[in-house]
Amino acid sequence: MTHRTLLAEMTREQIRQIAPTTTVVLPTAAVEQHGPHLPIATDTLACTTICQRAAEIASAEGAPVTVAPAVHFGASHHHRPYPGVLSLSLTTFIQVVEEVCESLALSGFKRIAIVNGHGGNDAAIRVAATDVSLAHRVSVAAASYWTIAARALIEDGRVREVGQLPGHAGGFETSLVLALRPELVDRASRPAALGSVPPYPADVAQSATVIREGGSIGAGPGYSDDPSRGSAAHGEHMLGIISREVARFLVEFSRH
């Protein structure tokens, strides 16, 4: 059977056949406000695209990878009270991810990689991965795509031209959407810079978690840095790096 990279396009018998020897990727994302200019499905759009491209690269390199349908809704309470924030509590999100992973395990998959595209989910997917690995005889990996690709993006240097990595609805994410679905960007509403911001936030460096009073995104303008620095060229360039690094991560994971 020719390997397919999308689980949703396969029959149950095709899944039964490939599951024991294939790494399955579960994308996790969010549906939430992304400033006045980006669609609320930004995280889902970026994460699913990256996972699909990475799966194709890894599979072409001899490490079969299949992408499961995404968990679209994430933990986004910190974006309230903006409209369009369709959020799960952390407890519910973790349970959803665990139960989907359990379903994948019962379908016969032995390796599950949770690849995340929303900052609010980052710690939660690691909790879910730990719980799943304790409950089922499967290998589980969990990481956000920017964590996997951070070193390569920083060494490449292009990300320094767009702002925070990944930020929120700033130059980085605006670039990704301009590359993928430019018609969804409201250019007339794209806001200006917020002033001086650090180039790489804590979730990339994996430093201590610090949540300051009044720090909810819902209490601010809804974006982290200058969206006007984003471009389709930046986005396509960075998507290429990220997809290759996620593919490398999946190939390495598949060897164990």
**Which CATH number goes with the domain that contains 235?**
3.40.50.10310
Locate 250 and state its tokens: 């999946």
Which tokens hold the place of 151?
Answer: 């070193």
β-sheet with 111-116: strand ranges across = 65-67, 23-28, 111-116, 139-144
* C-alpha to C-alpha distance for 150 and 66, rounded to whole angstroms: 23
Give me the residues paired with residue 38 across strands: 34
Nearest-CA neighbor of 254 among 127, 140, 129, 101? 140
Q: What is the pLDDT of residue 4?
A: 80
> Per the structure, how many domains does the chain have?
1
Has residue 193 been placed in a domain?
A: yes
The answer to whether position 95 is within a domain reads yes
State both tokens at 7: 């689980």
Q: Can you read off the two tokens belonging to residue 187?
A: 């250019």
Per the prediction, the chain carries an average pLDDT of 91
Q: Which domain holds residue 16?
A: 7-254
Q: pLDDT digit string (tens) for 22-61?
A: 999 999 999 999 999 999 999 999 999 999 999 999 999 9
- Average pLDDT, integer, range 59-85: 96
pTM here is: 0.91
> For the chain, what's the residue count?
256
- Let me know if residue 96 belongs to a domain: yes
Classify residue 2: in a domain, yes or no.
no
Domain presence at residue 170: yes
User: Can you say whether residue 84 is alpha, beta or left, with left for phi > 0 and alpha for psi between -120 and 50 degrees?
Assistant: left
131 domain residue, yes or no:
yes
CA 45, 46, 52, 53 torsion: positive or negative? positive
pLDDT band with cut points at 50, 70 and 90 for residue 214: low
Q: Tell me, what's the pLDDT at 220?
A: 78
Dihedral class, residue 214 (left if φ above 0, else alpha if ψ from -120 to 50, else beta): left
Residue 202 has pLDDT above 50, yes or no: no
Dihedral of the CA atoms 223, 186, 145, 250 (nearest 10)? 170
Q: Which residue has the higher pLDDT, 25 or 222?
A: 25
Return d(Cα 252, Cα 12) in angstroms, integer.
27
- pLDDT for residue 222: 85
Q: With pLDDT > 70 as the criterion, what percentage of the chain qualifies? A: 88
> Could you check whether the bond before residue 166 is cis, i.e. omega within 30 degrees of 0?
yes
Reported in sequence order, the residue ranges of the chain that DSSP labels E, i.e. its strands, are: 23-28, 65-67, 111-116, 139-144
Q: Is residue 193 pLDDT above 70, yes or no?
A: no
In a domain, residue 161? The reply is yes
